[in-house]
Structure 1
């Protein structure tokens, strides 16, 4: 396995680092305080060609792969955005770009991919429901046949970046659960306008990730046009899983960058801070060991993520690797931000030193976009062959 980055990848990382430095920690602190979407940095990312790294050249992308996208997100996250950078890539080049490039019609690709890649179009995905949670096969949002299209009714929750989006990838049932032989049958994906008549949404007040709002979304007899079906009618489940596994890769990359950034802040502070006879507090093993442990775990998650991304690019099954990488990255980032705050004492709790935001934001990913308990369930049954518990 090749570990060294290619010259092209190194150039992309340098570009990402420059953008990350341009929109550094102060930029993100100010946006967090205002709960404002990071539109300026996202446009800079698109202008630099980084949004479309893994999307086809035919539509304005670079035609590279998920490994390239992972190293880009890591570098951007480490520059100041933290784990939120993964969410930016999740909603646009993944939920929008990957789903359309892999499963869209040629007319859908031509109409939408160039706009996503340029930053003109923003996306979101509506999957999770109040009464289904992680059990996505139990979703009840339903698309009834209406002439040559459908009428969509139902409710979603914890949907990221709805207010800034133009298009929404909606996962719905098109055949009732009690009418199918397999629970995975009867699920379809649609891409609709977020401002479509009958679509409404309310923002959820939450602990962190303030620059990426989460919303409850309601569909009240929403008209869906025939050319807004994405992929295969009634057979969208496996197509959806392909999108979600790539989501894991950018999520993990953002967490790795966030953890590294927090540790960097702690190392800088504890090297400068001198007490107890003038020695830097960073010289004490009680502060060194937790940070070193978190760093080691982050680097392991990073390598597992690279393997998942490489397998994805090669067309080899990568779901287990993507899930394991996300599991370890979320735990390691939580430890890195927590231990960095602890090492900095009271100043780690202050907004002046930024780690508190990294801590608040990273905490989300212990249970999102998939809870660590569900990842462990998957590993136990899929990789270890143990009996299913649910």
Structure 2
């Protein structure tokens, strides 16, 4: 992160948050850009980094201390994720940290005491890795079209179907999964139930997907063939799983927005440093407005996006409605991050495409974040309908 950015960010933190941020910065210093570049190139899970997070007690940031977590708010969690991404780790480094935060939100709120006592401590300690399995090849953004089905039996359910783009599933022992248990009745999202299921390789096949961004964290297609799920693994009320998942969406979008701003700042730092050092026609290329203006514009966009992130986290921590704020934060951060990564790559010229300069890795991740975890178009649909009061378009 540029010194000017760090000063602006730190000045807004209270004493506790600043201490937390300082600690995570110290941890990230041991994992530099070459480390993340190697993990990405070799498609290797960053197990050393995840072990350091687990040893430091970082994996359960927002989970109750009753279950081994730190019981911190979303503001502190966003600050941590922002720092991890800005260190050069990008989304590769953030996913193992944010997965226990938002993926467990529905479990924490709707799960039975037994389910929470059994699994949350293992998630916080890093003994159990989890993933979030909702997306399907023929459903996409329309969750009501999910066809993965849980058929009841005497012990619970037998689950069969397919999920896609399930990040961290290659390492995960368990997943929080949405499946159909009954027909849609009063609403199109009825009949979907949420489960805490084990990814038992006798019943689950994992197929890694070749993809462009964050290669250190594999995304898989998952194929379920009569996976047994006992009755105690149901999260919340049968048939109400979609509405339980909604509990985690504002958290996911806000925390992702924090990571996205951090990634943008990592790219911006590289772009500015190169523009200062690279000499062409006997002067730094940063003296040319064609180079400096896109970088300056991206910096302004990132700072404005961070204000939106902080507004959304405060709303969540205060128990207020954060739907509009979290969607605005996600939309604006993705645009700002892409602008920063594009400007940084362009400033590098041909060197921007060389792995050794790292900005191509940032650019790949930045492009993904305009599509996932929710596309910019679907975010605008939400804002048009709920904020502006325009007719529903889908």
Match of 1:209 among 187, 211, 214: 214
Report the secondary structure of 1:255's partner residue: helix
Match of 2:131 among 120, 124, 135: 124
Q: Is the 8 A contact 1:143 1:152 kept in 2?
A: yes
Q: How many residues get paired?
A: 385
Q: For the residues of structure 2 that align with 1:330 and 1:85, how far apart are their CA atoms?
A: 17
Alignment of 1:189 onto 2:194: yes
Q: For the residues of structure 2 that align with 1:7 and 1:44, how far apart are their CA atoms?
A: 24
Residue 83 of structure 1 deviates from its aligned partner by 2.7
Match of 2:228 among 219, 223, 232: 223
In the other structure, the counterpart of 1:285 is 289
Match of 2:268 among 256, 263, 266: 263
Matches within 5 A, 1:238-249: 238-249=243-254
Q: For the residues of structure 2 that align with 1:67 and 1:211, how far apart are their CA atoms?
A: 27
Structure 1 range deviating more: 59-68 or 46-55: 46-55
Q: For the residues of structure 2 that align with 1:172 and 1:253, how far apart are their CA atoms?
A: 30
Match of 2:75 among 54, 67, 73: 67
Residue 196 of structure 1 deviates from its aligned partner by 5.1
Residue 269 of structure 1 deviates from its aligned partner by 1.2
Q: For the residues of structure 1 that align with 2:181 and 2:320, how far apart are their CA atoms?
A: 30
Match of 2:95 among 80, 87, 91: 87
Q: Is the 8 A contact 2:84 2:94 kept in 1?
A: no
Q: For the residues of structure 1 that align with 2:365 and 2:171, how far apart are their CA atoms?
A: 19
Q: For the residues of structure 2 that align with 1:31 and 1:355, how far apart are their CA atoms?
A: 15
Matches within 5 A, 1:245-324: 245-277=250-282, 279-324=283-328
In the other structure, the counterpart of 2:160 is 153
**Per-residue Cα deviation, 1:25-62 (whole angstroms, up to 9, x for no partner):** 01001101110111111221222222222110111111
Unaligned runs of 5+ residues in structure 2 are 1-10
Q: For the residues of structure 2 that align with 1:90 and 1:137, how far apart are their CA atoms?
A: 26
Unaligned runs of 5+ residues in structure 1 are none
Q: Is the 8 A contact 1:144 1:174 kept in 2?
A: yes
Q: For the residues of structure 1 that align with 2:31 and 2:193, how far apart are their CA atoms?
A: 38
Report the secondary structure of 2:140's partner residue: coil
Q: For the residues of structure 2 that align with 1:303 and 1:103, how far apart are their CA atoms?
A: 31
Report the secondary structure of 2:29's partner residue: helix
Structure 1 range deviating more: 81-90 or 159-168: 81-90
Residue 98 of structure 1 deviates from its aligned partner by 2.4
Residue 91 of structure 1 deviates from its aligned partner by 2.4
Match of 1:26 among 34, 44, 57: 34
Alignment of 1:383 onto 2:387: yes
Report the secondary structure of 2:48's partner residue: helix
Report the secondary structure of 1:82's partner residue: helix
Match of 1:176 among 176, 183, 190: 183
Q: 1:162 to 1:123 in 2, by over 3 A?
A: same
Deviating 4+ runs (over 6 angstroms): none
Report the secondary structure of 1:366's partner residue: coil
Q: For the residues of structure 1 that align with 2:321 and 2:309, how far apart are their CA atoms?
A: 13
**TM (normalized to structure 1)?**
0.95
Q: Is the 8 A contact 1:85 1:254 kept in 2?
A: no
Backbone CA RMSD of aligned residues: 1.5
Report the secondary structure of 1:168's partner residue: strand
Q: For the residues of structure 2 that align with 1:356 and 1:243, how far apart are their CA atoms?
A: 31
Q: For the residues of structure 2 that align with 1:233 and 1:305, how far apart are their CA atoms?
A: 33
